[in-house]
Amino acid sequence: MVAYGAPSCEVLIYSVRNHFKNEEKLRGSTSKVTHMDFSKDGKTLMCNNSRFELLFFDLNIKPAKLHKKLDLLKDEKWETYTCIMGWHVLGIWPPCSMGLDINSVDRSNKGSD
């Protein structure tokens, strides 16, 4: 799968196996999507948007829906981690910081450092 954050506040999911056919439109973001990461098992997509929201889409069901029970995803394993908002990056935010203080982040592939 390839995910694309469209200007329409949707995330478009494309199938690589099916010659990049648009498979699904994920709706639920209130502003443009700025960062995305797939879970290791490919069943969840985590997104941040320009309103600094943290969204999780359940890709295991069709059509994909926003996760309602976010606390269940706190310990989820991620293939990459480029989202600037989320449990795994809480420590990068200085006290009294605002959403525009951090532009990008990436986690090492080791996952333990």
The two structure tokens encoding residue 96: 């009294």
The two structure tokens encoding residue 97: 């910081």
For residues 55 and 28, give the distance between their C-alpha atoms in angstroms, rounded to a whole number: 8
Residue whose C-alpha is closest to residue 36's, from 6, 68, 74: 6
Per domain, the residue ranges of the chain are: 2-101
The tens place of each residue's pLDDT in the chain, 113 residues long, gives 999 999 899 999 999 999 999 999 999 999 999 999 999 999 999 999 999 999 999 999 989 999 988 888 988 999 988 999 988 888 888 888 888 888 888 887 776 65
Global pTM reads: 0.88
Q: What is the pLDDT of residue 98?
A: 82
Q: What is the pLDDT of residue 15?
A: 93
Residue 93: partners with Cβ closer than 8 Å, 6 or more residues away: 101, 102
